[in-house]
Chains A and B, each alone.
Chain A
C-alpha cells in the first residue's frame, strides 16, 4: 500500500487527501500483450566488445597485429636463439654472407659470394668454388682487366665450415641475427618509452589547452612554437655534448619535440567537440570539468590518439636511424635498428646483404604499425558500427 500526495510542480498539493492506491490495482498493460514490432535481433554489447569485434572483422588489421606481436616476441627472445652472442667479435670471419643450415642445400643462404679474381689466383680458391660463372672483361676506369667470376663458399674458404651465421656477420665478425633482434629490442623499448611519455604529456596539455582555450591556450601555444622552431639537429648535438651519448639524451630529444604532435591533435579534437550539445547537457547536470573532459569529449579523440601513438612508434625508430647515420645514435657496442641500417648503407656496394635484414624488419614494422593504426582507429570509431 502506498500513500501518496499528488502535488504540482511547486509543491502545492492538488488535493489535501492522501490517495491510497492498492498494489493489486496496478495493472501493467504491456507484459501480457503481444507486441507487433520488429524483434530485437541484436544484443547489447559493451564498448570494449564492440571495438574488439570491429577489430577482428578487418583482416588487414589482424594480420598487422600479428606481425607486430611477432616482431615484439622476437625482440624478447631473438637474441638468445642463435648460438652466437650479439657482442662476440671474430675478426677473421667478418663480412660473411648469410648461411642457414637447412636452406643451403637449396642454393640460397648457402654462405656463397660471387667474387672476381685474376686467372692466376684461381688455384687459391680451388676446393671452395661452387660454380665458375665465366670470364668477365671489366672495362672501367680501373683499367681493362680480365677476371674470372666465381661463386665460392666463403665459409669453406675461411676454414669455418661448421660456423653458421644465419643473417651473415658484420664488419667485426658479429652475428647479425642476434644483433638484429637485440637492436629491435633496444629500438622498440626506446620507441615505447618515448611514446608513453609523449602520450601522457601530450594528452594532458592538449586537453587543458583545448578545453579551456583563452589565455592558457595562448601561452602554451607560444611555448610550443618556441620549442617547435628550435632546429632539432643542433639541439641533439648540444644535448649529447652535455650528457654524453646514450639513451638519455636521445630520449630527451624525442620527448622534447614529440609531445607536441599529440597535443595538437588532441587540442584539435577538443575544439571540434567541446561545444556539442551533450557536453552542454552534461555541464548543466553539474558534471565537473575533469569529468566532462574525460567522459564526454575525450572519447571523440580516441581515434586520433590511437593513430598518433601507433604511427609514433615507427617514427621514433626512423628518427633514431637518421641520427645513427650521423653517428649520434645509441652508444656502441649496443646495436639498434637505425645503427644496423646505417652500417648496412655504408657497405651497400660491397655487401648488400647487410642492409636487407634490418631493412625488412623496419619495413614490416612501419607497415604493421601503420595498418594497425588505421585499423585501430576504425575499430574505435563507433560511427562505423554496422
Chain B
C-alpha cells in the first residue's frame, strides 16, 4: 500500500512538471504584450522593464528563469490584476472563502445525495422512483446560472429569506454562514443529482446479487443488509464521483461568484487570463492542478479501500 502511494506520488510529480511546461508555453505564446505600457513611455525605460522581466529572452530561457524561481518558492508578482503583490499572496487571499464555500457545499451534497440515491434504488420502478428521479434530473438539467439567478430572485428578493449577496465580514460568523446558504445550494444541487443517480444505478445492480439474499437468510433485517453489505459494494464509483465533484465545485463556480458577489479564485483566474497576467494565471493553475492530482490519488486509493477486489497496484496475485 505504502509502495503504491509513493509510486503514485512520483507519477503525480512528473505529471505536475509536464503540465507546468505545457501551460507555460501555451500562455506565453498568446499574442500581445504582457506589460501595459503607456504609449508615451520612453523606449529606453521600456527596454529596462522588459529586461527586468526577461521578456526579451527566448521562451526557453524565460522558462528556466521561472522554474528557478519556483524552486525557491518565489511565484512571481502579479502585474495587472494586483500590481506589485506576490502571486502567492493573491491566491492566499481568495482561498478561505473559496474553500469554505466548497467544503460546505460538499457536506450539503453528501447526505441528500445518499438519501435520494438509496431510497430510489430500494423503491426502484415505483412511483417514488419516477418522481424523485425526475426531480433529481430536473436539478441538473437546469444550468447553474439559471438556477442561481432564480433562487436569488425568489428566495432572496421576493421572499427576503436570504441576503442577496455574500456578507462582507471576514471571519465566519453565523450571519456570514447564513448568507452563504444560497450559493451553497446553487453549487450543491448538481452534485446531489450526480451522486443520487450514480448510487441508484450501482445499488440497484448490487441489490440483485446473490449475497444479498444470503444476508437476509442469515437473519439481518433489511436496513442492516443495505447499510453493511450493499452500500459498501456500490461505493466504488461513489467515492471517486464525490472527490471529483469536490474538484469540480471548486473550479466551476465562476457564475455563482458573479451572481452572489463571492470574491473567489475563478473570477481572478478569468481576469488574469484576459489581462495576460501570466504569473498569476500560472499560480492559480498550479493550485488547481495540485488539488486535482491530490483528488485523483485519493480517488484511486479509495477504490482500494472500499473494494478489495480492485486493489490496483496492490499485491499482485502472482
Interface of A toward B, CB cutoff 8 Å: 60, 218, 222, 225-226, 228-231, 233-235, 237-238, 241, 271-272, 307, 314, 318, 321-322, 325-326, 338, 341-342, 344-345, 348-349, 355, 359, 362-363, 365-367, 370-371, 374, 377, 383
Contacts and interface: CB of A to CB of B under 8 A. Distances in A.
Contacts of A226: 15, 18-19, 22
Contacts of B12: 225
B150 interface: yes
Contact of B141 (A230, A307, A322, A366): A366
Majority SS at the chain B contact face: helix
A184 to B, nearest CB: 14
Contacts of B269: 231, 233-234
B234 to A, nearest CB: 14
B145 A325 contact: yes
A317 B31 CA distance: 30
B305 to A, nearest CB: 17
Given A228-B292, A322-B143, A233 B11 contact: no
Residue of A222, A229, A314 contacting most chain B CB atoms (<10 Å): A229
Contact of B293 (A225, A321, A349): A225
B292 A229 contact: yes
A195 B274 CA distance: 30
A222 B146 contact: no
A231 B22 contact: no
Closest 3 CB pairs of A and B: A366-B141, A229-B292, A363-B141
B310 A314 contact: no
B65 interface: no
Contacts of A370: 137, 197
A222 B19 contact: no
Interface stretch (B67-75, B98-106, B111-119, B281-289): B281-289
B22 A230 contact: yes
Contacts of A338: 143
A183 to B, nearest CB: 14
Interface in B177-206: 197, 201
9 contacts: A60-B130, A231-B288, A233-B266, A234-B269, A234-B285, A271-B312, A355-B146, A359-B142, A362-B141
Nearest to B303: A268
A241 B32 CA distance: 11
A97 B3 CA distance: 66
A314 B143 contact: no
Contacts of A218: 11
Contacts of A314: 141
A225 B197 CA distance: 25
Contacts of A365: 141
A348 B149 contact: yes
A231 B137 CA distance: 26
A285 B88 CA distance: 62
A184 B138 CA distance: 19
B60 interface: no
A271 B304 CA distance: 14
B141 A342 contact: no
Interface string B290-318: 00110010000000000000101000000
Contacts of B288: 229, 231
Interface string B1-33: 000000000011011001100110011001100
Contact of A229 (B14, B142, B293): B293
Nearest to A367: B137
